[in-house]
Amino acid sequence: MVNEMNYATISHVMEDWESVKRTKDYEKVAGTKLFRRLFDKCPQAKLLFGFPIDIDVDSPELLQSKRFVAQAIYFWNMIDTSLNMLGPDIELLTEIMTELGAKHVVYGVKPDMFPIMGEALFWTLSEMLGDKFKDENEKAWKETYDALSADMIRAMVKK
């Protein structure tokens, strides 16, 4: 659960996040990497976003789609908002993640998709941060993702 995270974990994640945000158009760059990876590892996820399951993850039709780019940017903005709430607004963040989990049931997201999204997130962070994303920092991100997704999954299972 998010509200059980410690300061050291949050500190590692926020330090990495600030590095990611220094990349020009980081939302689009990172979001594109993440969704390409997600769609490659979980082709059925394409359907959740309104794309044909057989569309190539490198195709201009996908990568230049306004919907694809908008979703990539939206996802990274959601991460930014969530991470900024880790310290002062952690209780509110737990409520928001619970509500988000309930909404994702309607979208067709299944709890078993979360590890795949997590892998796509960690791969993207590794691509963006290079050697900096290892050991303690990678562990901190996994702990953070697990906590955020646990709150969402708990709400999904209740529905």
User: What are the tens digits of pLDDT across the range 19-51?
Assistant: 999 999 999 999 999 999 999 999 999 999 999
What does the pLDDT read at residue 30? 96
Class (C level, CATH) for 2-158: mainly alpha
Residue where the block lists tokens 């689009």: 28
| Boundaries of every domain in the chain | 2-158
Q: Can you give the pTM of this predicted structure?
A: 0.91
What does the pLDDT read at residue 60? 96
What's the whole-number mean pLDDT along residues 100-124?
A: 94
Per residue in 135-151, pLDDT tens?
Answer: 889 999 999 999 999 99
Rounded to the nearest 10 degrees, what angle do helices 66-84 and 26-41 cross at? 110
Please name which of 113, 100, 34, 120 lies closest in space to residue 71, comparing C-alpha atoms. 34
Per residue in 51-105, pLDDT tens?
Answer: 999 999 999 999 999 999 999 999 999 999 999 888 777 788 888 999 999 999 8
